[in-house]
Structure 1
Amino acid sequence: MTPTATALRGGWSRGLIELRQSFTNGTELVGHFFWPTLMVVVTFLLRDTTFGGTGFLLGTLVLPGILGMNAAMSLVSMSQQLTADREDGTLLRAKATPNGMLSYLLGKIISVAGGLVVDLAIFLIPSMILVRGLAVGSVGAWLHMAWVLVLGLLAALPIGAVLGSLFTSARSQGLLTLPILALIGISGIFYPITALPDWLQWLAQVFPIYWLGLGMRSALLPDGAVSIEIGQSWRHLETVGVLGAWLVLGLVVAPVVLRRMARRESGSSVAERRERAMRRVG
């Protein structure tokens, strides 16, 4: 077996172990259920509200957008976990083993993506019972949702790894979370984007959150719902193009940034960060 194959096998095993541990750790288990449950409540409260004079239920329109939002938020999870592992020395240990960074990154992608899929299921299953008007009665709808989710994750996770490499402390992650929350607010997740000013619509379309939400809506909503979208079109080609562009950007930038970050890691830098953390606690 080649060194690369060994690293990939180790990364796969690492990812499955981390995923399993996340469902046996009390704090992480609460996280898996808290946000999906909160989103179920939001969707339930919006279930009988209509959007303007269209007759479409806002809860029905919001549900697929929330799925896309959570997929996009995987980049925040990736960033947070990579920063935490850098701070406690996990990345330094990975760097010290042959192909350790490759194994580490594969494992992290598997654990983050696997946890996200479970979170989406926790949200989607009860929401399908509570919300009316979803077009989920065909295999095509589920296959459509699957390719949007896979492409969205492949676009988001490398960018999350890049962002995580830029932070040296988990405390500084708020600098990332706040802008992401702002983007969610203008990306048509909780209210159709066509109700926003034109300049905000253009800004939202630069980033993957809007396109993930649009892709999920095109998969799960009836054909008539396209009337409230920009250009009254699901814009499948544009969805593939924008998410694909973010995917290529991440694959080009992530290896370069991560290699530079790994070269800067040393025992002394980890010890210094740990000492700063202890002083904050003290």
Structure 2
Amino acid sequence: MSAPPSRAARPARATGTALRAGCGRGAIELRQSFTNGGDLVSHLLWPVLMLITLFFLREREFGSSGLALGTLALPGILGMNAAMGMVSMSQILTAEREDGTLLRARATPNGMRSYLTGKVIAVAGGLVADLAILLVPAMFLIDGLAAARPGAWLTLAWVLVLGLVATLPIGAVLGSLFPSARSQGLIQLPVMGMIAISGIFYPVTALPGWLQAVAQVTPVYWLGLGMRSALLPGTAAEVEIGDSWRHWETAGVLGAWAVLGLLVAPVVLRRMARRESGSSVAERRERALRRIG
């Protein structure tokens, strides 16, 4: 007979079980989002609208840079959509808080860790699919991208993975701070603020120095910078801070946000779930039914 696991090994085994369960749950939810008609339309609508925009910008040059507006806009569009995953995460969390899903997750051992893992995988997977639906046709539509450069796709991959893991737990924390889905307007304000100063749509060097410092604290700035470094030619780095793409700094800051988010988000969700009860879920459901009626 094998010896029972030690006390030190039990938490690690429980965490591993929770992560595996979360991965399985996330994969199921992701597959369901592509077999549901409404979700499928939402996956296709945004990329199609952005492709139409890029089509009209493909031959217009930006100043004397020699780069088309469509070429410069594509990394920004990709970065913005990836950053907006925070809003998607918060919307899902507040909706599932109202319908009792979080309450059921709390009743399961390590349920909140499993729940958060599943949501990160489902939302991140959907975002990656949306970005691919946009990026692949855009490669044939606009010129001037540096995607053929060795390492461009590898850079895009690690920036996107780190960026999503860094930002999605922030969305979970924001979603846990508000009691209902009706407060989503308030949740979007800090996210839109980070995007506005991130340099995704215009060079951050055009902002005052103190605002540049604030932007560099947020993960959204580094997500956008990494996207630009992967898709734009090297000469485009001249408008960036330090005339450089700063890959090491990008990896360090995004990695730090990812670790912090994955440590803090489960704690915040557990504390929020402790305040949930069957009566509070039923009360919110009753209020929702009265509003509909």
Query: In the TM superposition, what is the alpha-carbon distance from 1:197 to its structure 2 partner?
Result: 4.5
Query: In the TM superposition, what is the alpha-carbon distance from 1:198 to its structure 2 partner?
Result: 4.2
Unaligned regions of 5+ residues in structure 1, if any? none
| Aligned mates of 1:154, 1:17 — CA distance in 2 | 19
| Aligned mates of 1:119, 1:109 — CA distance in 2 | 15
Q: Among residues 230, 234, 250, which one is paired with 1:239 in the alignment? A: 250
Contact kept in structure 2, 1:12 and 1:107, CA below 8 Å: yes
Moved more, 8-17 or 104-113: 8-17
The answer on 1:77 being equivalent to 2:71 is: no
Alignment map for 1:1-282 (pairs within 5 Å): 2-282=13-293
| Aligned mates of 2:40, 2:32 — CA distance in 1 | 9
1:173-210 Cα shifts (integer Å, max 9, x gaps):
11122332343233222333334444543333232222
1:124-156 Cα shifts (integer Å, max 9, x gaps):
011111111111114511111111111111111
State the structure with more CA Rg: 2
Query: In the TM superposition, what is the alpha-carbon distance from 1:246 to its structure 2 partner?
Result: 2.0
Identity %: 73
Query: In the TM superposition, what is the alpha-carbon distance from 1:73 to its structure 2 partner?
Result: 1.5
TM-score by length of 1: 0.92
| Aligned mates of 1:139, 1:233 — CA distance in 2 | 18
Moved more, 165-174 or 248-257: 248-257
| Aligned mates of 2:233, 2:27 — CA distance in 1 | 36
Counterparts in 2 of 1:115 and 1:41: CA distance versus 1, 3 Å: same
| Aligned mates of 2:207, 2:124 — CA distance in 1 | 31
| Aligned mates of 1:175, 1:24 — CA distance in 2 | 31
Equivalent pairs, count? 282
Query: In the TM superposition, what is the alpha-carbon distance from 1:10 to its structure 2 partner?
Result: 2.3
| Aligned mates of 1:79, 1:116 — CA distance in 2 | 14
Contact kept in structure 2, 1:58 and 1:191, CA below 8 Å: no
TM-score by length of 2: 0.89
Which residue identity does 1:104 align to in structure 2?
Y
Counterparts in 2 of 1:152 and 1:69: CA distance versus 1, 3 Å: same
Which residue identity does 1:109 align to in structure 2?
V
Contact kept in structure 2, 1:65 and 1:212, CA below 8 Å: no
Contact kept in structure 2, 1:89 and 1:270, CA below 8 Å: yes
- Secondary structure at 1:136's aligned position in 2? coil
- Secondary structure at 1:189's aligned position in 2? coil
Contact kept in structure 2, 1:66 and 1:213, CA below 8 Å: no
Contact kept in structure 1, 2:175 and 2:187, CA below 8 Å: no
Query: In the TM superposition, what is the alpha-carbon distance from 1:275 to its structure 2 partner?
Result: 1.6
- Secondary structure at 2:163's aligned position in 1? helix
